[in-house]
């Protein structure tokens, strides 16, 4: 069809639209009535228009894969679990390796790394083990983040003097920041400053891949824009170092808004969060089982989580169009605003000594806690809703005898170099009060 369908209509400017809205408001204040003020400091308008878009971003299209995370306690069991997951549709397997005694040969036995993407996330640092992995499987992606270890636990794997940059890849784990209550702007800025610490130490090394582990929240369009902004910011920083490494984003739903009561609602939350991750351009999407915060790993929860992704991919056709959010005035504007605010915060961090220095000074922890407290206050006042918890709770819902895992912040006194960044869910206090009355 070559004939334009809209040629008979005159263009309407954003100014004209706003004037029409103000007439319809019948005297009500436009800003007070229709502008949504967010915790990121971004004012969301009721409409967006082409004549207000200064620039759009050219973001490289991404193919996404269905991921599954497997903790390796026993190599044979983990291997069989991985093979079963692959047969049921998983395309990327992330093995979490707790110690260097784990046999990589047994763990990867009969798994074709030419077909299935393999990630090995190490919870320790051992150069000999890392070299051994490279010899066993050249295609396995090593996921090791010493700075992320410091931020999450308060201690290095060994000490600050050990090598922070090794091999041809880097990993930046930003999930801790999101799960602890950081805003989208903070997550982006801290992730960028986190990466910059590595790039400062990577001089002379040939990097091929940068892995970003990202948690995705429930603010649908903001999360799409967050992942797009991450690519924009990465390209900006990488160009300064003349770094040509590819950025791989591995996304997983946040734990921050998950609940033990009305737990099936978690499936709705993770579905929209996975949708945001896909539309935002994640390379791999790992879903979080609906019962992950209070049940041990189980076949049912993991199957449901995997099937959510398979439905999005094969029945909802979320793999049919790349960069589906391109051209959306709202998302393009959010991407610009998040990028600019995150870049300004990143520059402030660098001007004050860098990310590690600010972690040691406690500045990063303080800022995240302030953001978390503001969000917690919104939840406590009912302005931020978690259905089934602070809105329409089912009083007959009993969970005391369902808890296989302790779902709250664990207090474990120990000596640390810095104050760790503590992950905490919004519903914890409400849930603890309800459990006491069961």
Kindly report, residue by residue over 138-151, the tens digit of the pLDDT: 899 999 999 999 99
Predicted confidence at residue 3, as pLDDT, reads 65
Helix/strand/coil (H/E/C) assignment for every residue in 37-65: ECCCCCEECCCCCHHHCCCCCCCCCCCCE
Tokens of 70: 């497997």
Collapsed DSSP state (helix, strand, coil) of residue 71: strand
- Following CA atoms 370, 375, 380, 384 in sequence, which dihedral angle do they give, to the nearest 10 degrees? 170
CA–CA gap between residue 163 and residue 175 (Å, rounded)? 23
Contact by Cβ (8 Å): 226, 280: yes
Under a CB-based contact definition with an 8 Å cutoff, are residues 315 and 33 in contact?
A: no
Q: What's 36's DSSP letter? A: E
Q: Could you give the count of Cα atoms lying within 13 Å of 259 in the half-sphere of its Cβ?
A: 27
Q: How many CA atoms lie within 13 A of 29 on its CB side?
A: 3
By percentage, how much of the chain surpasses pLDDT 70? 97
Cβ atoms < 10 Å from Cβ of 86: 18
Q: How many of the other CB atoms lie within 10 Å of CB of 405?
A: 13
- In whole angstroms, give the CA distance from residue 243 to residue 407: 41
Task: Tell me the C-alpha to C-alpha distance, in Å, between residue 369 and each of 44, 48, 182, 372.
Answer: 24, 33, 8, 5
Backbone angles phi, psi at 246, to 5 degrees: -80, 140
Residue 376 φ/ψ, nearest 5 degrees: -65, -40
Q: Are 81 and 73 in contact (CB under 8 A)?
A: no
Edge to edge, the sheet with strand 65-71 lists: 141-143, 117-122, 92-97, 65-71, 284-286, 246-253, 209-216, 169-173
Lookup: tokens for 189: 């800025």
Distance from chain centroid for Cα 111: 27
Strands 43-44 and 36-37, bridge-based pairing: antiparallel
What is the pTM (predicted TM-score) of this model? 0.94
Residue 127 has a pLDDT of 87
pLDDT beneath 50: ranges in the chain: 1
Per-residue pLDDT, 58: 74
pLDDT at 1: 47
- Contact of 189 with 349, CB cutoff 8 Å: yes
Residue 327: the pLDDT is 85
Q: What is the model's pLDDT at position 53?
A: 84
For 169, phi then psi, to 5°, come to -140, 160
CA angle 43, 44, 48 (to 5 degrees): 125
Please provide the DSSP assignment of 195-220 as one string.
HHHHHHH-TT----EEEEEEEE-S-H
**Residues in a beta bridge with 169:** 209
């Amino acid at each position: 069809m070559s004939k334009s369908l809209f040629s008979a209509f005159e263009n309407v400017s954003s100014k004209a639209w706003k004037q029409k809205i103000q007439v319809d408001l019948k005297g009500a204040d436009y800003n007070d009535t229709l502008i949504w003020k967010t915790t990121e400091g971004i004012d969301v308008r009721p409409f967006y228009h082409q004549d207000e878009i200064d620039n759009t971003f050219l973001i490289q299209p991404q193919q996404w894969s269905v991921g599954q995370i497997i903790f390796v306690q026993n190599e044979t069991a983990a291997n069989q679990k991985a093979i079963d997951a692959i047969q049921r549709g998983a395309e990327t397997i992330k093995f979490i390796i707790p110690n260097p005694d784990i046999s990589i040969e047994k763990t990867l036995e009969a798994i074709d790394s030419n077909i299935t993407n393999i990630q090995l996330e190490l919870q320790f640092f051992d150069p000999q083990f890392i070299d051994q992995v490279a010899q066993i499987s050249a295609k396995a992606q090593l996921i090791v983040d010493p700075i992320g270890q410091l931020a999450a636990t308060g201690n290095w794997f060994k000490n600050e003097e050990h090598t922070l940059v090794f091999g041809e890849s880097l990993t930046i784990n930003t999930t801790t920041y999101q799960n602890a209550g950081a805003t989208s702007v903070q997550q982006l800025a801290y992730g960028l400053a986190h990466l910059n610490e590595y790039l400062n130490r990577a001089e002379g090394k040939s990097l091929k891949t940068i892995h970003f582990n990202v948690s995705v929240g429930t603010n649908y369009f903001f999360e799409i824009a967050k992942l797009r902004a991450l690519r924009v910011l990465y390209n900006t920083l990488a160009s300064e170092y003349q770094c040509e490494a590819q950025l791989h984003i591995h996304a997983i739903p946040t734990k921050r808004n998950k609940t033990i009561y009305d737990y099936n609602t978690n499936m709705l939350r993770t579905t929209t969060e996975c949708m945001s991750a896909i539309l935002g351009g994640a390379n791999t999407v790992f879903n979080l089982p609906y019962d992950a915060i209070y049940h041990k790993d189980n076949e049912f929860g993991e199957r449901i989580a995997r099937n959510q992704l398979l439905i999005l991919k094969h029945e909802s056709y979320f793999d049919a169009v790349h960069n589906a959010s391109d051209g959306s005035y709202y998302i393009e504007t959010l991407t610009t605003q998040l990028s600019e605010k995150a870049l300004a915060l990143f520059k402030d961090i660098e001007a004050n000594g860098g990310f590690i220095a600010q972690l040691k000074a406690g500045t990063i922890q303080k800022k995240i806690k302030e953001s978390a407290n503001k969000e917690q206050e919104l939840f406590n006042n009912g302005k931020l809703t978690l259905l089934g918890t602070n809105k329409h709770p089912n009083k007959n819902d009993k969970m005391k005898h369902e808890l296989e895992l302790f779902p709250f912040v664990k207090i474990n006194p120990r000596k640390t170099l810095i104050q760790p960044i503590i992950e905490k869910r919004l519903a914890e206090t409400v849930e603890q009060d309800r459990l006491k009355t069961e």
